[in-house]
Amino acid sequence: MRGRAKALLRTLLIGAAIAGASTATMAAAGSVTGAVRIHSASLTQNGQQVVWRLVTDDEFTPASLAAAQQALCLDITASKPPAFGGELCIGGSRRGAHPKLVFYRVSRSRIGAPHAVTATVTRSSHHELTASFRPASIGATYRSLRWQVLSTSTAANCSATPAGCTDTLPVRAALAKLHTPQLVGCVAGGPSLVYGGSPKVHDMALAFDDGPWGTPPTTDFIRTLARYHVPATFFEIGDQISEYDPTGSVERAMLANGDMIGDHTWTHPDMAALPAAQQRSELELTIDAIRRATGFTPCLWRPPYGDISPELISLARSLGLVTIMWNIDPRDWALPGVGEIIDNVTTNARNGGIVEEHFGGGPRYETLDALPTEIANLRARGYKLVTVAEMLGLRMIYR
């Protein structure tokens, strides 16, 4: 634990920023109290999220912390080089009842400017708080971190209160062993047949069929999407995986970049015309091929040619697959030209749009070349580009 004087000095600076007030204003505050007493605390990992759980003996809200010159912060430092350290504090406005998280990067010589952290904060009472966030939101990575909850008060006579000026838990900093999460699956949910997302949500999904492939190499699609920080959904033909991605490195790169992989059958047949046993084989063989290559089990599939039947949709769902269609078709498979692909996608853009394009089954250079302008146009219209799984709110499974 840092020395009390240093902790109180840090709290004075942090508390002023959280309250949106000067230190002089804080000193003049009418109510004087001690530090909020900590009952229990933990820092754990759940998939991509780091979860901070805090239970206190005293009630607290953002307004009460600001008014009483108190701060509740999670002190975080890297257990090994490179150096990293900071304070993740419970903040919010004096009037706001729901807490937010504010992070301050801390070095030996200075405390950095505060910035709001993207996090999910829930409360079951005024004695409890659970906050989930990704390490990147505080400038950290998935590695072991030492942590300790610091509860402090800068009130003039806080030492006269039962709680005193500081409370810490644990007494010595604990170690949270974080690891880079590996996506191993997703859970089918909602409707079994989907043509698009919600018309009320301003997002769109780029989805590509018929790969992996070699003209151009699938890696060119992955790199282009990564360059523009756009996740996509790739529906794969199982029989092509061993030829175009024998080691699984291409598909693992997809998942590492935030892309989603779906089932597009083993041989790309007209599934609705097949007997049920063969339909099942087409889907299961591809699921197994994707799992062997990546460790990931898909929960999405797209029927070749869009041919479906109620029985086929039900069969797919029994295998843990949601049937994904589309509501925007630039007909890139016909090689209409880069400009025509861009115009088609841009003109037909809509809330909950799922675009059907191709990264295999023929030369797909036009589709690849259209992507940068396609992405720019959609972003210029304010669309958030997401995977189909994210659009549908499906749960991801990590280990």
Q: Which residue has the tokens 């219209």?
A: 381
Buried-state track 128-152, b at ≥16 Cβ within 10 A, e below 16: bbebbbbbebbebebbebbbbbbbb
229 a catalytic residue: no
202 a catalytic residue: no
Give the active site residue among 58, 75, 167, 209. Answer: 209
Distance, in Å, from the CA atom of 209 to the CA atom of 286, rounded to the nearest integer, reads: 14
Given a contact cutoff of 8 angstroms between Cβ atoms, the answer to whether 90 and 69 are in contact is no
Distance, in Å, from the CA atom of 156 to the CA atom of 165, rounded to the nearest integer, reads: 9
DSSP assignment of 178-246: -----EEEEE--S-SEES---TTS-EEEEEEEEES-BTTBHHHHHHHHHHTT---EEEE-HHHHHHH-T
Helix (H) or strand (E) holding 128: strand 128-133
Give the active site residue among 167, 259, 264, 358. Answer: 358
Distance, in Å, from the CA atom of 48 to the CA atom of 397, rounded to the nearest integer, reads: 10
Distance, in Å, from the CA atom of 244 to the CA atom of 397, rounded to the nearest integer, reads: 26
Given a contact cutoff of 8 angstroms between Cβ atoms, the answer to whether 280 and 319 are in contact is yes
Distance, in Å, from the CA atom of 257 to the CA atom of 269, rounded to the nearest integer, reads: 30
Q: Which residues are catalytic?
A: 209, 358
